[in-house]
Structure 1
Amino acid sequence: MKNSSAQLQVLSIDIGGSHIKATILNSEGKLQMAYEKIVTPMPSTPENMMEAIKTLIKNFPEYTNISVGFPGYVRNGVIKTAPNLGNEAWKDFDLSKKLEAELGKPAKVVNDADMQGLGVVTGKGFEMVLTLGTGFGTALLMDGHLLPHLEIAHHPISKKEKKAVTYDDYIGERALEAEGKKKWNERMQKVFEVLKTVFNYDTLYIGGGNADKLTFPLDANMKIVTNEDGIKGGARLWTMNEEPITETLSAATK
């Protein structure tokens, strides 16, 4: 039986390379409980991930639907790539079907940056979302609607000893740890200039665990957002076909 928007209680889960985060949202994207997290299991196999999710949510209140943001390429709830979790274990794994079987509720799974994008954008114009964490996530939205997902993280940005260096290599968590904060910020400035030229976005939103490590001034149309903001996109996955995004988001911020 389909739930009306008023009845929706969405278990919204953000799977990351270091932590799994979750909360319960109402249809307007308002948190119904404190945001909680657990360390991402190693190895990060589908089986271990499901056990970690069940441990994380075992004391959560009742929910009607499930939304998951996953760090990789997702098509119709099926994982195609999971570069920061282990591609081989996840290839062609139907995570939405597994969640429904294990938790007994309808589930939707999308790329994590796409879900964050739904949670933070205004719904006006061409908006781009970046997540700076274990890897480099991106989402593109036009007037509040998700555009086809592009794995920009795996596109070359530089080269070293004749080998292509991707965005993940260049500004991911490993690069930050290896090069230090100062060098990483210099690289981020270069990346922002490239993105500005290539995408000509109206607004750029920057989230993820490393967003607060940026030390240089941002342009007026660039904004830092939090994981708590992004996880609210889990509600939008179930309501975005029912009403304009600007109405839902304005209600969520009251």
Structure 2
Amino acid sequence: MPREASPRPSPRKKTPRETAASGLRTLAIDIGGSGLKALVLGPDGSPLTERQRVVTPKPATPKAVMGALTKLIKPLGAFDRVSVGFPGVVEEGVTKTAPNLHTDWQGFDLAQALSKATGRPTRVLNDAGVQGFGVIEGRGVEMVLTLGTGMGCALYVDGKYVPNLELAHHPFRHGKTYEEYVGDAALKRVGAKKWNKHVQRVLEQIQPIWNPRRIYLGGGNAKLIDFPLPKNVTVTENIAGLLGGFALWKDEPRPQ
């Protein structure tokens, strides 16, 4: 089966009637450092099933994660295609980095592996990129930051995704990267009160550099934010990491 290329936003959005006519069900998977999540989306992108979640296996090798995903998606029923959010750099369905999983992910063809396992075409994108597709408005510069095991980042210009922006690994303060400053390990080390100050400093640093029209904060730890946010910053629901999977197929039909 040919490898699925990284998605490109559609030049024209389908109308609800066109989308519903396709009748396609999308299995959306979110691979995280602490949990694996999945649900099935209907022809209009809305959830058809309850979200399923299991703990990410340790060590989180490709083999272990693939085994866990097989069990995770079994009760979800039928689907026609697969969308995956992955916590690292992804190029044409191949994972290049996975700092919060395992070194064995370097060069792993996740799209091909899941296509073979499910018998369905599969597309894979960075997890913050997928989450952004679930919340962005598609106007101007928009940025997504996910606060979970690590820190994810995605950038969009007029709805077009800028792939594999790994801001998390850029130096930030006191010799630490952004991820080391606001990731889950930092939260556990310094506590929620000080961690909130760290997140606030990150936002203050990002604003004058990227000048985003909107910033969306997601990920499991975003719910812990307790300081007043700037007017252009919004905390999103974590399920956006799954709902955004529908956008990976907006340029259909495409030969498989």
Matched position secondary structure for 1:169: helix
Identity, in percent, stands at: 46
The alpha-carbon deviation at position 16 of structure 1 amounts to 0.5
Judge conservation of contact 2:139–2:157 (CA < 8 Å) in 1.
yes
Equivalent residue, structure 2, for 1:168:
179
Gaps of 5+ in 2: 1-18
Letter in 2 for 1:35: R
Matched position secondary structure for 1:11: strand
Whole-angstrom CA distance in 2 between matches of 1:65 and 1:38: 21
Equivalent residue, structure 2, for 1:251:
none
Whole-angstrom CA distance in 2 between matches of 1:100 and 1:241: 17
> What's the Cα RMSD here?
1.5
Gaps of 5+ in 1: 243-254
Does 2:143 match 1:132? no
- Describe how 1:60-209 pairs up with structure 2 within 5 A: 60-86=76-102, 88-159=103-174, 164-209=175-220
The alpha-carbon deviation at position 58 of structure 1 amounts to 1.0
The alpha-carbon deviation at position 147 of structure 1 amounts to 1.4
Judge conservation of contact 2:144–2:153 (CA < 8 Å) in 1.
yes
TM-score, reference length from structure 2: 0.89
Equivalent residue, structure 2, for 1:33:
49
Equivalent residue, structure 2, for 1:210:
221
Letter in 1 for 2:167: I
Equivalent residue, structure 2, for 1:245:
none
Q: Which is further off, 133-142 or 226-235?
A: 226-235
Equivalent residue, structure 2, for 1:6:
22
Q: Aligned residues, how many? A: 235
Whole-angstrom CA distance in 1 between matches of 2:219 and 2:168: 14
Whole-angstrom CA distance in 2 between matches of 1:148 and 1:17: 20
Letter in 1 for 2:58: M
The alpha-carbon deviation at position 8 of structure 1 amounts to 1.5
Matched position secondary structure for 1:42: coil
Equivalent residue, structure 2, for 1:44:
60
TM-score, reference length from structure 1: 0.89
Deviating 4+ runs (over 3 angstroms) = none
The alpha-carbon deviation at position 167 of structure 1 amounts to 0.9
Whole-angstrom CA distance in 2 between matches of 1:158 and 1:217: 22
Q: Which is further off, 26-35 or 49-58?
A: 26-35
Matched position secondary structure for 2:41: strand
The alpha-carbon deviation at position 28 of structure 1 amounts to 2.5
Judge conservation of contact 2:218–2:238 (CA < 8 Å) in 1.
yes
Matched position secondary structure for 1:17: coil
Whole-angstrom CA distance in 1 between matches of 2:80 and 2:152: 28
Whole-angstrom CA distance in 2 between matches of 1:203 and 1:58: 37
Letter in 1 for 2:89: Y
Instruction: Output one character per residue of 1:109-166: Cα deviation in whole Å (capped at 9) or x when no partner.
Output: 110000001111111211100100000000011111111321100000012xxxx311
